[in-house]
Amino acid sequence: MSSRHSQFVTRLGSVVFSAAEWYVARKATAAEAEESLGKISRLIYPTIIVRKQRLRALSNLAMAFPEWDNARRREVSANVFRHFAQITGDFLYSPRRTDEEVMGSEVVGEGFAREATALDKGIILVTGHFGNWERLGQWVRCRFGNLTVVARDANDADMQRRVASIRERAGVEAVSRGANPRILLRKLQNNEVLGILPDQNSDESFVPFFGKPCGTVLGPAKLHIRTGAPILPVFCIRTGPAQYRIEIKSPIISEPEEDATSVMTRVNAVLEAAIREHPEQWLWLHDRWKSARRRGLL
């Protein structure tokens, strides 16, 4: 993608985001916000504007699901774009959403949350760019009383400012990826919840993901081994218009002498299992296996 085209896409995204933010803030219900952005995604999906992301999604799906035919991959790819447009609409609605509404979501696996909390060592909550992680953040803050999320800054400074503002109004604190590790350690030492999305490309380690070596960060595992804070996988699954289910999985606790790579292999397995159940709700348009290809591992 040329730099000029990339700049155009960034500007277009900012314009669409601004228009959607205005619409949601003044008129739309959460379901209407989801529907409106979903319709926009159907118009944009076949165009050259998102050609790179569309081809990447199809390529990733072909690697992860070799048993699918091309029609199935195209269907899921289109639904991925639609899903992320819909949850953007829900995110824009979040400043108007009450805590009571968030806590009204169906929850599966509450016992695992109690198990992790009982250790009194803080919690390393891991999820992915899957389902609706922004709504999940608000739910976690309500359920546990606090949440600090490690998040990648947006490429566009104005977009970063607006996204941060929406998160703050939902009561979610965010620190930039690459922040001083002492900040994260302090959060866990204070028995707080630290949210991490470890499902983007890295060259720190290479562990299996959908049966292929995949560049994976080791940060969550290193924090766990150093502090004893349990890794708690949690997902927020979209089940219908403005309807979501929170799924909490069994805490991941390392065995004696288990290293960070082994722990992250277990984290990847939990994330993969969730994605296989709802493949249209994961960010297939991200180049997740980029480092693995560059290392000649694929």
- pLDDT tens-digit profile of 119-138? 999 999 999 999 999 999 99
Report pLDDT for 145: 92
Alpha-helical regions (H) of the chain? 3-26, 30-44, 51-64, 70-93, 99-103, 110-117, 133-144, 157-169, 181-189, 219-227, 260-277, 290-294
The domain locations on the chain are 3-294
Asked if residues 149 and 137 have their Cβ atoms less than 8 Å apart, the reply is yes
CA nearest neighbour of 172 among 143, 138, 121: 138
Alpha-helical regions (H) of 170-232? 181-189, 219-227
Report pLDDT for 179: 75
Spatial distance between the Cα atoms of 187 and 145, rounded to a whole number of angstroms: 13
Report pLDDT for 8: 60
Report pLDDT for 278: 98
Report pLDDT for 261: 97
Spatial distance between the Cα atoms of 33 and 31, rounded to a whole number of angstroms: 5
CA nearest neighbour of 37 among 81, 7, 5, 68: 81
Determine the straight-line distance between the first and last CA of the chain, rounded to whole angstroms.
23
pTM to 2 decimal places: 0.92
Report pLDDT for 96: 86
Query: Pseudo-torsion of CA 269, 273, 278, 284, nearest 10°?
Result: 20
From first to last of its 298 residues, the chain has per-residue pLDDT tens of 556 666 666 666 666 677 777 767 776 788 988 998 999 899 999 998 899 999 999 999 999 999 999 999 999 999 999 999 999 999 988 888 899 999 999 999 999 999 999 999 999 999 999 999 999 999 999 999 999 998 877 666 777 787 878 888 778 888 887 777 889 999 999 999 999 999 999 999 999 999 999 999 999 999 999 999 999 999 999 999 999 999 999 999 999 999 999 999 999 999 999 999 999 999 999 999 999 999 999 9
Rg value, the chain, Cα: 19
Asked if residues 126 and 83 have their Cβ atoms less than 8 Å apart, the reply is no
